[in-house]
Chain A
């Protein structure tokens, strides 16, 4: 345990010293992953598929805020889809513009969730998102996470139906739109996932803010359980097919990652909790003080006792 705490302090001090470099590197990694996944899944526009283009875009993104990175990723997504179906690209653009105006007009600063949710879906650990959002953010995080889930399933739909979408010239234009909107909105698996993630965020947030011992640990377990429950109920009611083994491993991995996050952000020692009570003119105060677990980072200095022999110049 001590070694882990020392490692945490070392990481903290390293981040403090090198954040000017680390933040652009993290943004670069997120951008490269997002563009690579887009090209890999729905890379229908050849010009954008070139590694030079998406690597150059990622380098530029390293120095931009997450809001602009999300916007650029959205443009790339719509451009790829427009090569398959202009109608689909138009519908998706309208939905994205509406989300940008109605939600991002408030400048909530959580647009990285739009990128992270589809990326983590690709790596089969999306269930960690509700746990981390519930632990670190507020309830408003439900909106970008839901939008991220919607984007992931839209990408999947385009990937699986590219042939149908390209060869529907004979279908009437209104029929095309009806078909596209129906397929985007009536995807039961997507709706179940959105419900599971929203419930997960809500439960984790509510439990995390309770004044009980081990609230964060309880919140992580409860959030994972709620996600399991909603997906099982959805499976039963809407007959959606979720690969169970993969889902269970995903939830376990999510709990482990959330526990790691908890260790780095909220390591406290409940055994040394103190309760204080006092009053002033207006209030009685019942204070619960939980000490943080802290150790000082080892500061290793090597002092050489034997001085190196200096050669005397001989004249």
Chain B
């Protein structure tokens, strides 16, 4: 016989999984430090690659200026500025990455708590109905 309460609970859990599953389960498979660390590494590689691409554009744009000033001191100055701006840019980008993924992990852990609470409620319903002899789970 169908049990309306359990059906409602299971439908609620199913809907929750459908709506929030993508934002919770793939994130919660990791420890917080692993999850954030993985994305920070990816950001580091992505930023470095983009920096190289951006540098190529800047070099093309300023090729004539660079070639006309073949002064060693100026080239060293440009090099320092280049590395300095790379480090500052990377630092800012990694901070943003940390903040974004930290928030996502927080969201996922809150969502997981809600999900577990819903499952526990369902389990209790099964146990209660098992005791009352209303068709509990079979072991």
Contacts and interface: CB of A to CB of B under 8 A. Distances in A.
Nearest to A178: B61
A177 B97 CA distance: 32
A289 interface: no
Interface residues of A, number: 13
A297 to B, nearest CB: 21
17 contacts: A94-B56, A94-B57, A98-B53, A101-B47, A101-B50, A102-B46, A102-B47, A102-B50, A106-B97, A174-B60, A174-B63, A174-B64, A177-B60, A178-B60, A178-B61, A178-B64, A182-B61
B46 A105 contact: yes
B48 to A, nearest CB: 10
A94 B51 CA distance: 11
A102 B64 contact: no
A105 B42 contact: yes
A181 interface: yes
A231 B61 CA distance: 29
Interface of A: 91, 94, 97-98, 101-102, 105-106, 174, 177-178, 181-182
Interface of B: 42-43, 46-47, 49-50, 53-54, 56-57, 60-61, 63-64, 93, 97, 100
Contacts of B43: 105
B47 A181 contact: no
Contacts of A98: 50, 53-54
A181 B46 contact: no
Contacts of B63: 174, 177-178
A101 B46 contact: yes
A103 to B, nearest CB: 10
Contacts of B50: 97-98, 101-102
B100 A91 contact: no
Contacts of B100: 106
A36 to B, nearest CB: 31
Contacts of A94: 53-54, 56-57
Q: Lowest 7 CB-CB distances: which A-B pairs, in order?
A: A177-B60, A101-B46, A174-B63, A98-B50, A181-B61, A94-B53, A101-B50
Contacts of B61: 177-178, 181-182
A279 B104 CA distance: 30
Nearest to B54: A98
B28 to A, nearest CB: 17
Contacts of A102: 46-47, 50, 93
B111 to A, nearest CB: 17
Given A105-B46, A106-B100, A181 B53 contact: no
Contacts of B60: 174, 177-178, 181
A177 B64 CA distance: 11
Q: Which of B43, B47, B61 has the most CB of A within 10 A?
A: B61
Q: Which of B47, B53, B60 has the most CB of A within 10 A?
A: B60
A252 to B, nearest CB: 37
A97 B57 CA distance: 13
A41 to B, nearest CB: 24
B84 to A, nearest CB: 19
Given A102-B93, A174-B60, A174-B63, A97 B42 contact: no
A185 to B, nearest CB: 9
Contacts of A181: 57, 60-61
Contacts of A106: 97, 100
A98 B64 CA distance: 24
Contact of B49 (A91, A101, A174, A177): A101
Nearest to B100: A106
Contacts of B47: 101-102
A101 B93 CA distance: 12
Given A101-B46, A181-B61, A182-B61, 9 more contacts: A94-B57, A97-B50, A98-B53, A101-B47, A101-B49, A101-B50, A102-B46, A102-B47, A102-B93
A177 B56 CA distance: 11
